[in-house]
């Protein structure tokens, strides 16, 4: 009897449900149910810190971008009370990484040509002061541009732009009046030292730069008035700048 009861019980379990699917199959297909509280407890340990960090990072990037755009707008906008009041902060943010040079879009043709040369000074073994001949840095750049189908930006503009920046910061006075002026002086000196290291294997204690500025005559038009005589050539000698043994 016990065996018969056991067989009947198994057959009853195998009886199809109302839709024709065995009861055992329906019971086996049901997934295990996890309480909602358990699921949230498992995810909150990872999602909340990562989500908060992502929100903070996005907020910082957005705030930095908005501040940058606003400061650049103040810098390039016509002079006003706000830009004049915060002139020091604007220059500290813009230079040297975010300098805005609108001549990239509206080129301003050069009205002069500049020849930048350098010479060195050292003390000989007998204590005499020895000064070298002038080495033409501009001629080296011009030669590299002329014989290069795709000249680099460094070859074309580094020396020229460094001198223009120095001229804007110093004017006719070679005394620095700001930290930026000191930086531009060091930048110009280091360019000359690096060019000398490439083309001349000499030791020295100081360098001096000479800049010869020659005005470019205005073009003539047939039948038009004769252009005015160009201004005289200007030669400027910069002070001697000390150079350490490591070139700085």
User: In angstroms, rounded to a whole number, what is the distance separating the alpha carbons of residues 120 and 209?
Assistant: 9
What 8-state DSSP symbol labels residue 22?
Answer: B
Q: Kindly report, residue by residue over 28-66, the tens digit of the pLDDT.
A: 445 555 555 554 444 445 578 888 888 999 999 999 999
Averaged pLDDT of the chain: 79
* Residues forming a β-bridge with 91: none
Find the mean pLDDT for residues 229-237: 82
Give the mean pLDDT of 140-156: 83
Average pLDDT over residues 114-122: 94
Q: What is the pTM of this model?
A: 0.56
* Alpha-helical segments (H) within 123-218: 137-146, 153, 159-170, 179-199
At 178-199, the pLDDT tens digits run 889 999 999 999 999 999 988 8
Cβ proximity of 87 and 79 under 8 Å: no
pLDDT recorded at residue 5: 53
Length of the chain: 248
**pLDDT for the residue 61:** 95
The residues near 57 (Cβ < 8 Å, ≥ 6 apart) are none
């Amino acid at each position: 009897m016990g065996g018969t009861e056991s067989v009947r019980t198994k057959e009853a379990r195998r009886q199809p449900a109302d839709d024709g699917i065995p009861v055992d199959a329906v019971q086996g297909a049901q997934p295990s149910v996890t309480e909602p509280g358990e699921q949230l407890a498992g995810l909150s340990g990872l999602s909340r810190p990562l989500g908060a960090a992502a929100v903070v990072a996005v907020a910082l990037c957005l705030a930095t971008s908005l501040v940058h755009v606003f400061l650049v707008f103040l810098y390039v906008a016509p002079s006003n009370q706000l830009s004049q009041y915060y002139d020091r902060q604007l220059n500290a943010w813009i230079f040297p990484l975010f300098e805005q040079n609108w001549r990239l879009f509206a080129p301003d043709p050069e009205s002069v040509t500049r020849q930048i040369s350098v010479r060195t000074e050292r003390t000989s073994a007998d204590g005499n002061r020895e000064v070298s001949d002038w080495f033409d840095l501009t001629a080296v750049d011009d030669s590299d541009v002329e014989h290069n189908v795709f000249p680099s930006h460094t070859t074309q503009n580094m020396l020229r732009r460094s001198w223009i920046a120095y001229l804007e910061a110093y004017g006719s006075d070679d005394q620095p009046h700001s930290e930026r002026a000191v930086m531009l002086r060091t930048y110009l000196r280091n360019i000359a030292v690096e060019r000398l290291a490439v083309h001349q294997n000499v030791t020295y204690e100081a360098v001096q730069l000479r800049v010869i500025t020659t005005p470019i005559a205005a073009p003539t038009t047939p039948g038009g008035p004769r252009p005015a005589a160009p201004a005289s050539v200007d030669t400027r000698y910069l002070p001697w700048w000390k150079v350490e043994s490591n070139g700085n």
